[in-house]
Amino acid sequence: MHIEQASKQELKDLLADLYEEYDKLAELKLALDLTRGKPGAEQVALSDALDGILAGDFRAADGSDVRNYGGIDGLPEAKALFGSVLGTSPEETLVGGNSSLSLMYQVIDFAMNEGLRGEDSAWALNDTVKFLCPVPGYDRHFSICEYMHIEMLAVPMLDSGPDMDQAEAMVKADPDIKGIWCVPRFGNPTGSVYSDDTVERIARLPQIASDNFLVLWDNAYAVHSLYDDAPELASIAGYCRKHDTMDGVFQFGSTSKITFAGAGVAFIGSSERNLSTLKAHLAFQTIGPDKVNQLRHVRLLKDPETLAAHMAKHAALIRPRFEAVLEVLAKELGDTGMGEWTEPKGGYFISFDTRPGLAQEVVDLAGNIGVKLTPAGATFPYGRDEANRNIRLAPTFPSLEDVRASAKAFTVCVKLATVKQELAGRG
Amino acid sequence: MHIEQASKQELKDLLADLYEEYDKLAELKLALDLTRGKPGAEQVALSDALDGILAGDFRAADGSDVRNYGGIDGLPEAKALFGSVLGTSPEETLVGGNSSLSLMYQVIDFAMNEGLRGEDSAWALNDTVKFLCPVPGYDRHFSICEYMHIEMLAVPMLDSGPDMDQAEAMVKADPDIKGIWCVPRFGNPTGSVYSDDTVERIARLPQIASDNFLVLWDNAYAVHSLYDDAPELASIAGYCRKHDTMDGVFQFGSTSKITFAGAGVAFIGSSERNLSTLKAHLAFQTIGPDKVNQLRHVRLLKDPETLAAHMAKHAALIRPRFEAVLEVLAKELGDTGMGEWTEPKGGYFISFDTRPGLAQEVVDLAGNIGVKLTPAGATFPYGRDEANRNIRLAPTFPSLEDVRASAKAFTVCVKLATVKQELAGRG
């Protein structure tokens, strides 16, 4: 039954049923959690061989002893392997420590305060620095901007990626815009994959934007497809070469959702010129990354084929969790007009839109019966979802049974909030 | 023969012999290196068991799965173990990634730009920020200052540590002074250990200095003694508690010279208040440190007794190298008036002072016959050793044979430069 076609009496009856159902859920004293984009225990266990994999052989391919000091930008074989993920050559790749977020922070900190092209290029010389933020998006990106006093301008996400007509118009009109955040494949939270045309247009943004504009290309889910027929992402490095804009793009990736979430390896792809400038900056603050852990990762993941086989094991573990949520959503909310959601072919999230004005209430209702959801607004800059619609669902960490129970309880909360709203609207 | 007691003819004869000896060394085409304070291959091999030590058990003492996300300040058991090195409680300890230099940079960056006590406390609000730098000292400390535009004021090192009369007078007279660098035990490069009185006076510096003054206490060689009777270092945490100045001191340490130089664990000891503020800052730029590697370290090093036994193995490997250098120096340069040097009981360096004006020439002479020495001036802020005297010798990395050969060649260079200078002085 579509909510707009229901009679007032039908809605009242439904509301009574929903309250009853909600009260029963409350009695169960659930402790469920759909907030966290983190791998489950079985997933991290896929990489348990990392510990001990070196078997006493601590020599990198170039003969260097990875246990000792030396090398600010990572092992050659790690650059080759992770460059293959980003479509960059080893010379265009830097492999760092366990956190791509740190690498993003360091790049922005450097562009802001030191300047990638010398001190005259430092963004901080501008009174105002702005970033384009496709929404909904990743809250940690927005936090870095807030912390750095970078003003965030929302750009809507379409199925093909950010609305590029709008993005290009904004960038042309406003020289204070110095960057754009992108999660181009299986984006957080929508799961959408940028179209080839969008990737090419983003690769050209540095040409139409003001000087020292940077694309922050967080390809966190580059190899994280759930299905063999999941859409591929065009290579932004390829388009950058075509349009000579490699200096305007920093790609990021990590093994956080490939091996161990907290103990992986993060990497950057960019122009040789950018990396050389960045390395000089990093030399002031670190002796270099953990090369032992890099070597472990190379020994485990070996080459693109071995990496793909490893990722297929992850998919086998989390695909049923995604399908469980999507099944419940379709069964409970399909054709009801009570919400819309994405059906991602990879990544870690499902993005759910309530009818306008209800996200906060749904999150509260769920929280009150022990189902923790990502705070409403978290997927928007400044935590402000003006339409109060978007809720991010993260099904990977709980057990399949818990995922199913959470999704069911979630739909009860959605229905309850929506029916209340509809009844109130009819007066 | 003391150089000042030699006749001019004796000096001329000696010079001729030295040139001959120097030319013979040149013919050997040596490739020796005394520049690097890094452990040798046998030393890092002492910790090879790290890789594989977890044997499939990735649970921390609190039951958490170290493979997954979570925890910005390290594992509880790692805080306990490394807090014992710094004399801080687990609550006063933060355990991070592989680089204590990064932790130092982050603390200074935070104090400079954000302010440890809210934005009004940011050092950057001052036109000028200055640090006291005991000299000779560690070049990486000085690099951070230069990078952050912190003006460096030299304070002479005495056998007891920095000249505290001078340091206190400077701090009282100049409110722009916001910090002091200290390597309190087996300092780089002198090897000296601060006296108890010096430690207590440094713990009181925050009371007599201007607001938001910080002691940067880089206890890099806390457990790195070469002899059982090496001098102990008083606990600065103890004196801070006595004088209520824990907010004014950040202690740093790492396992870089305990386990793997590039793949260890770094840590901070400070007040709970400081750590709580710092953690909020770090949350913007990292998902947290590599807890798998922290757990490996706890399993290997276990407790202070096991750690001490491990360090005794390091001492057994590097003590002969130090003794070889000191033997050669004593034999070749003892009672000649051609130089003075430290005889450290721990750490990684021997500090050598030529007669004034000769350090650069000695380094050049050695370089020309294939003996690489740390650049003259490197141990001073801005690379400027006004007296042009100090040379840092690092004997741990080369083989014992190479260390001996390097030391011998070094003494030939010292003699050559000194005799030339003496002859020139006599006209």
B52 touches chain A (CB under 8 A): yes
Domain B3-43+309-426 matching CATH 3.40.50.10860: the answer reads no
A-chain CB neighbours of B36 within 8 Å are: 69
State CA B95 to chain mean position distance: 19
**In the beta sheet, which residues pair with residue A249?**
A215
> Are the beta carbons of A399 and A320 closer than 8 angstroms?
no
Query: Which of A102, A288, A293 lies nearest to residue B286, judging by beta carbons?
Result: A102
Q: What is the pLDDT of residue B159?
A: 94
Using CB atoms within 10 Å of the CB of residue B156, give its burial: 0 to 12 exposed, 13 to 18 middle, 19+ buried: exposed
Nearest CA in chain B to A294: B263
Tell me the per-residue pLDDT of B128-161, one tens digit each, with 9 for 90 and over.
Answer: 999 999 999 999 999 999 999 999 999 999 999 9
Domain A59-302: assigned CATH number: 3.40.640.10
Q: What is the 3-state secondary structure (H, E, C) of chain B?
A: CCHHHCCHHHHHHHHHHHHHHHHHHHHCCCCEECCCCCCCHHHHHCCHHHCCCCCCCCECCCCCECCCCCCCCCCHHHHHHHHHHHCCCHHHEEECCCCHHHHHHHHHHHHHHCCECEHHHCHHHCCCCEEEEEECCCHHHHHHHHHCCCEEEEEEEECCEECHHHHHHHHHHCCCEEEEEECCCCCCCCCCCCCHHHHHHHHHHHHHCCCCCEEEEECCCCCCECCCCCCCCCCHHHHHHHHCCHHHEEEEEECCCCCCCCCCCEEEECCHHHHHHHHHHHCCCCCCCCHHHHHHHHHHHCCHHHHHHHHHHHHHHHHHHHHHHHHHHHHHHCCCCCEEECCCCECCCEEEEECCCCHHHHHHHHHHCCEECCCCCCCCHHHCCCCCCEEEECCCCCCHHHHHHHHHHHHHHHHHHHHHHHHHHHC
**Nearest 5°: CA angle at A145, between A171 and B216?**
140
Tokens representing B312 are 């005794």
Please tell me what DSSP assigns to residue A341. Answer: E
Q: What is the pLDDT of residue A26?
A: 97
Tokens representing A132 are 């384009």
**In the beta sheet, which residues pair with residue A286?**
none
A-chain CB neighbours of B50 within 8 Å are: 292
Average pLDDT over residues A380-409: 97
Tell me the per-residue pLDDT of B390-399, one tens digit each, with 9 for 90 and over.
Answer: 999 999 999 9
Cβ–Cβ of A51/B54 closer than 8 Å?
Answer: yes
| Residue A427 pLDDT > 90 | no
Cβ–Cβ of B261/A292 closer than 8 Å?
Answer: no
Same fold, B3-43+309-426 and B58-302: no
Cβ–Cβ of B102/A285 closer than 8 Å?
Answer: yes
A 94-123 residues inside an 8 A Cβ radius of B: 97-99, 101-102, 105-106
A-chain CB neighbours of B44 within 8 Å are: 58, 65, 67-68
What count of other Cβ atoms lies within 10 Å of the Cβ of residue A345?
20
Tokens representing B168 are 């206190």
Query: Residue A117 and residue A178: Cα distance in Å, rounded?
Result: 14
**In the beta sheet, which residues pair with residue A65?**
A59
Query: Residue A72 and residue A281: Cα distance in Å, rounded?
Result: 10
- Residue A403 backbone phi and psi in degrees, to 5: -60, -45
Among A126, A151, A191, which Cα is nearest to A351's? A191
Query: Residue A395 and residue A349: Cα distance in Å, rounded?
Result: 7
- Residue A89 backbone phi and psi in degrees, to 5: -75, 165
Domain boundary assignment for chain B: 3-43+309-426, 58-302
Cβ–Cβ of B66/A98 closer than 8 Å?
Answer: no
Nearest CA in chain B to A114: B147
Cβ–Cβ of B52/A47 closer than 8 Å?
Answer: no
DSSP A34-92: -------HHHHHTTGGGTTTTTT--B-TTS-BTTSS--SS--HHHHHHHHHHHT--GGG
A-chain CB neighbours of B101 within 8 Å are: 285-287
Cβ–Cβ of B291/A262 closer than 8 Å?
Answer: yes
Query: Which of B50, B98, B262 lies nearest to residue A70, judging by beta carbons?
Result: B262
Distance of residue B262 Cα from the nearest chain A Cα, in angstroms: 5
A-chain CB neighbours of B300 within 8 Å are: none
Residue of B53, B142, B287, B297 for testing the chain A interface, max A β-carbons within 10 Å:
B287
Cβ–Cβ of B98/A69 closer than 8 Å?
Answer: no
Distance of residue B43 Cα from the nearest chain A Cα, in angstroms: 10
Nearest CA in chain B to A107: B285
Residue of A113, A284, A296 for testing the chain B interface, max B β-carbons within 10 Å:
A284
Query: Residue A408 and residue A393: Cα distance in Å, rounded?
Result: 13
Tokens representing B119 are 């934005």
Please tell me what DSSP assigns to residue A149. Answer: T
B-chain CB neighbours of A106 within 8 Å are: 285
B59 touches chain A (CB under 8 A): no
Query: Residue A124 and residue A131: Cα distance in Å, rounded?
Result: 13
Tokens representing A307 are 């990496």
Nearest CA in chain A to B51: A52
Distance of residue A296 Cα from the nearest chain B Cα, in angstroms: 9
Average pLDDT over residues A296-301: 98
Nearest CA in chain B to A108: B285
Q: Could you tell me which residues come within 8 angstroms of residue B208 by beta carbon, excluding any fewer than 6 positions away?
A: B168, B171, B172
Tell me the per-residue pLDDT of A41-56, one tens digit each, with 9 for 90 and over.
Answer: 999 999 999 999 999 9
Cβ–Cβ of B147/A261 closer than 8 Å?
Answer: no
Residue indicated by tokens 């601590």:
A58
Query: Which of A36, A97, A284 lies nearest to residue B143, judging by beta carbons?
Result: A284
The alpha-carbon radius of gyration of chain B (Å, integer) is 23
What count of other Cβ atoms lies within 10 Å of the Cβ of residue A171?
23
DSSP strand E in A192-330: where?
214-218, 249-254, 266-269
Q: What is the pLDDT of residue B77?
A: 98
Could you list the mean pLDDT of each consecutive 10-residue stretch along chain B, which spans 427 residues?
94 98 96 93 98 98 95 97 98 97 96 94 97 97 96 97 98 98 97 98 98 98 98 98 98 98 97 97 92 98 98 98 98 97 98 98 98 96 97 97 97 98 94
C-alpha dihedral, A206 to A208 to A213 to A214, nearest 10°: -30
Cβ–Cβ of B261/A69 closer than 8 Å?
Answer: yes
Residue of A114, A282, A285 for testing the chain B interface, max B β-carbons within 10 Å:
A285
Cβ–Cβ of A65/B58 closer than 8 Å?
Answer: no
Query: Which of A56, A289, A290 lies nearest to residue B48, judging by beta carbons?
Result: A56
Task: Give percent above pLDDT 70 in chain B.
Answer: 100
Average pLDDT over residues A232-244: 98
Residue indicated by tokens 């997927």:
A379
A294 touches chain B (CB under 8 A): no
A-chain CB neighbours of B53 within 8 Å are: 51
Among A407, A308, A415, which Cα is nearest to A361's? A415
Q: Could you tell me which residues come within 8 angstroms of residue A253 by beta carbon, excluding any fewer than 6 positions away?
A: A82, A85, A86, A100, A218, A219, A220, A222, A266, A267, A269
B398 touches chain A (CB under 8 A): no
Query: Which of A105, A262, A285 lies nearest to residue B67, judging by beta carbons?
Result: A262
A48 touches chain B (CB under 8 A): yes
B 229-288 residues inside an 8 A Cβ radius of A: 256, 260-263, 284-288
Tell me the per-residue pLDDT of A105-121, one tens digit each, with 9 for 90 and over.
Answer: 999 999 999 999 999 99
Query: Which of B41, B68, B147 lies nearest to residue A261, judging by beta carbons?
Result: B68
Amino acid code (one letter) for A264: G
B70 touches chain A (CB under 8 A): yes
Q: What is the pLDDT of residue A246?
A: 98
Using CB atoms within 10 Å of the CB of residue B132, give its burial: 0 to 12 exposed, 13 to 18 middle, 19+ buried: buried
B 146-165 residues inside an 8 A Cβ radius of A: 147
Query: Residue A172 and residue A209: Cα distance in Å, rounded?
Result: 6
Query: Which of B45, B101, B261 lies nearest to residue A285, judging by beta carbons?
Result: B101
Cβ–Cβ of B256/A287 closer than 8 Å?
Answer: yes
B-chain CB neighbours of A300 within 8 Å are: none
Please tell me what DSSP assigns to residue A396. Answer: S
- Residue A253 backbone phi and psi in degrees, to 5: -155, 170
What count of other Cβ atoms lies within 10 Å of the Cβ of residue A166?
16
For the B58-302 domain, the top CATH level (class) is alpha beta
Average pLDDT over residues A290-305: 98
Query: Which of B65, B286, B296 lies nearest to residue A99, judging by beta carbons?
Result: B286
Helix, strand, or coil (residue A371): strand
| Residue A287 pLDDT > 90 | no
Query: Which of B39, B48, B292 lies nearest to residue A68, judging by beta carbons?
Result: B39
